[in-house]
Amino acid sequence: MRITALAGGIGGSRFLRGLLRAIPDAEVTVVGNTADDITLHGLHVSPDLDTVMYTLGDGVEESQGWGRRGDTSAVADELAAYGAEPRWFTLGDRDIATHLLRTRMLTAGYPLSAVTEALCDRWRPGVRLLPMTDDRVETHVVVAGDGDGQERAIHFQEWWVRLHAKVPARRIVLVGIEQAKPAPGVLDAVAAADVIVLPPSNPVVSIGPILSVPGVRDAVTVAGAPVVGLSPIIGGAPVRGMADAALTAIGVPTSAAGVAELFADLLDGWLVDSTDADAVPAVEAAGIRCRAAPLLMTDVDAAAAMARAALDLAEEVRAR
């Protein structure tokens, strides 16, 4: 079975790990979000691609869900001693090797997709990991200025990591998205899939940018395969992270049904957590087959059960 997933970082990769446990022989293509990418100390960092790669390659720091297991911060400490900015984003020592290699290959002219493939040669994540685009796209967040009334746009990472999404986002802007082209293989993976999955990733800043790459949303909408998604929102709140702040910025209610509505044009099926079973009728009224199931990824087995539930739902809508 060919499964194509559109994934962000932690929520996406934990789900994918469950998917591989549930269906070990599935051919999985992951279209990863690259709008979180940022250049730090001259290094090209791709947080979501790396989270998928490290998690599926068994190299992730499980306690935080991102970064390299057991990493240290000698380089970051030295940079801080120089007073080098930004200080709010710490790169681990082991992690830096990944960014050095990525930056070196990009500088030599390789596209991000080729670089990602090369990095995955080491990690063997068990999926084909494609960046959504080889072009530069960055999520910026427009916030009120400091006292002068002037709005300013800051990189998503600064809003998320430094400001903890506490400063209200007036708008979320995907810089570069209009010129971006899907990376090689992305549209084919969507068209050739037997099932297309939206894991419980951030709908605004993870799945949103992937679908916003020109051509991707249309490809998903016209694909022959059922499109099923899992809610990242349980009981009216994100399971972790600050997706509520991002949803509020685009005027979408922080609820399992609210997120389903955001993707209503492409979803055939939607899973909500058992505690949100009362949302099922509203989602079904929007023409999306909806089921309630436990959606907390407490361990890999729980994520595997979620993957099975998603594929069961895909079969159900396919038979319709």
Q: Tell me whether residue 9 or residue 65 sits nearer to Ca ion (CB atom).
A: 9
CA-based nearest residue to 102, from 34, 23, 170: 34
**Tokens 């940079």, residue located:** 79
CA distance 148 to 166: 19
Which class for 166: exposed (0-12), middle (13-18), buried (19 or more C-beta within 10 A)? exposed
Q: Is 134 in the site for Ca ion (CB under 5 A)?
A: no
Smallest distance, ligand GDP to C-beta of residue 107, A: 26
The DSSP secondary-structure symbol of 38 reads E
Smallest distance, ligand GDP to C-beta of residue 18, A: 10
Residues 147-206, interacting with ligand GDP (CB under 6 A) = 200-202, 206
Q: Which does residue 241 touch among Ca ion, ligand GDP, none (CB within 5 to 8 A, set by kind)?
A: ligand GDP
One residue of 38, 45, 48, 141 binding ligand GDP per CB under 6 A: 48
Structure tokens at 211: 């679908």
Q: Is 11 in the site for ligand GDP (CB under 6 A)?
A: yes
Q: Which does residue 11 touch among Ca ion, ligand GDP, none (CB within 5 to 8 A, set by kind)?
A: ligand GDP
Stretch that binds ligand GDP, among 17-25, 78-86, 107-115, 235-243 (CB under 6 A): 235-243
CA distance 320 to 316: 7
Bridge partner list, 167: none
Residue whose CB is nearest to ligand GDP in the complex, by number: 11
146, 35 in Cβ contact below 8 A?
no
Residues 6-25, interacting with Ca ion (CB under 5 A) = 8-9
CA-based nearest residue to 263, from 309, 206, 316, 183: 206
Q: Is 258 in the site for ligand GDP (CB under 6 A)?
A: no
Helix (H) or strand (E) holding 210: helix 208-212
Q: Is 257 in the site for ligand GDP (CB under 6 A)?
A: no
29, 130 in Cβ contact below 8 A?
yes
One residue of 240, 264, 278, 281 binding ligand GDP per CB under 6 A: 240
**Tokens 């989602």, residue located:** 283
Smallest distance, ligand GDP to C-beta of residue 108, A: 28
Q: Which residues bind ligand GDP (CB under 6 A)?
A: 7-12, 48, 51, 200-202, 206, 230-232, 234, 238-241, 243, 295-297
